[in-house]
Amino acid sequence: MKTRSNACLIILALVFSFLALAANSSLADVTFYDGTFDPSDWELIEITDFPGEETGTITANQVLAGGNPDEYLEITTQLGSSGNYEYIGGFFGFFSGGGYNPQTDGAIISVDYAADSKWFEGLLGGEGTGRALRQAGVIYLYLPCPNGPLLTSRSDWLQQTVTGITAEYFFTAYGYPTCEGPHPDFSITGAPIEFGFFRDNSGLGYQIVAGIDNWTLSVTSETIPVAIDIKPGDDTNIISRQSKGISVAILSTTGFYAPSVVDQATLTFGATGDEASFKSCARKPKDVNGDGIKDLVCNFSTKLTGLQCGTEGILRGETTTTGSFEGSQTIVITPCK
């Protein structure tokens, strides 16, 4: 698990490796968290069903005491007193966390959400509250279809959690959803995602003040598959047992530029993929497969790879963000013994 939070907090960078699991089934996780709500860490975007005509507002401000504990974010929804029966909501995006890029952090299996909520004043019943995200400029709300959002209806701090949320539970529809798409793209080719939450109300002529603290969003992601070329440019992949090193190229794609994305210190390569055989990577990226995108060529100690005869060489590593990747290719060690 890695935690991304605002700069005031200690960043946890615990990395659990699930090495005992079979290839391609290991999981990488990242958690976004904030319990301070510094205004510079968040962005509020108003969402409404009458853009430009709404008379209601949604506002937010950081309060320094009285949270669970200390700082929290106070959110006020104000519904217009005349005109359209309106929906007013806000998407709160946590942009200081760096966002999540499926192409370098891994395809998302699901997300878990937790936040503490408290109702302060105004119409009883509270504000609608839930998880939200923005991808390619589109805001998606998670709404437990078809019953609508959770409510901040308690006058004490209450933690609300939802786990195992997949892409099909996020909708672009506001208010009560139709349970139909479009949904965000959690796949390996999906555009970068900013996570956050939403608050909303609908109707006319009332105001609600409610708070949020300890916003937490955890992503469970898949290992990123990468293509590798052992002994770049040579299809035999025959390596002498006496050789000092084995050259392995990590092939780049448009979304995964190996020379800048790979955290070289985490590279392991060999018979199981976990061997600490890494020596170095070439400083200059080189396009070894002629696709026009430069690749990363690294060198591993032949002896430390534990490779025997005809077998598979497995490479594993982590990206400089939060992703784990893996690739393998057939290799022939000679003489075979």
Binding residues for Ca ion, rule CB under 5 A, total 14
CB hemisphere CA count around 66 (13 angstroms)? 14
DSSP code, position 321 = S
Choose the binding region for Ca ion from 38-46, 123-131, 282-290, 301-309 (rule: CB under 5 A): 282-290
Question: What's the closest the beta carbon of residue 284 comes to Ca ion, in angstroms?
Answer: 13
Question: What's the closest the beta carbon of residue 148 comes to Ca ion, in angstroms?
Answer: 27
Termini Cα distance of the chain: 41
Query: Residue 205: which of 84, 36, 34 has the closest Cα?
Result: 84
* Interaction between residue 38 and Ca ion (CB under 5 A): no
Query: Residue 274: which of 17, 6, 28 has the closest Cα?
Result: 17
Q: What is the DSSP string of 167-215?
A: GGGEES--SS--S-------STTPPPEEEEEEEEEEESS-EEEEEEEEE
CA–CA gap between residue 117 and residue 74 (Å, rounded): 10
Q: Find the binding residues for Ca ion in span 294-323 (CB under 5 A).
A: 295
Pick one of 55, 289, 301, 311: the residue that binds Ca ion (CB under 5 A): 289
* Interaction between residue 116 and Ca ion (CB under 5 A): no
Pick one of 158, 204, 293, 304: the residue that binds Ca ion (CB under 5 A): 293
Pick one of 53, 70, 121, 168: the residue that binds Ca ion (CB under 5 A): 70
Pick one of 38, 112, 274, 287: the residue that binds Ca ion (CB under 5 A): 287
Pick one of 35, 90, 285, 317: the residue that binds Ca ion (CB under 5 A): 35
Q: Which is nearer to Ca ion, 166 or 260 (CB)?
A: 260
* Interaction between residue 54 and Ca ion (CB under 5 A): no
Task: Name beta bridge partners: 260.
Answer: none
Binding mask 222-251 for Ca ion (x = CB under 5 A): -------x-x--x--x--------------
CA–CA gap between residue 31 and residue 172 (Å, rounded): 24
DSSP code, position 295 = B
Choose the binding region for Ca ion from 6-14, 180-188, 205-213, 278-286 (rule: CB under 5 A): 205-213
CA–CA gap between residue 5 and residue 33 (Å, rounded): 5
Q: Which residues bind Ca ion (CB under 5 A)?
A: 35, 67, 70-71, 213, 229, 231, 234, 237, 287, 289, 291, 293, 295
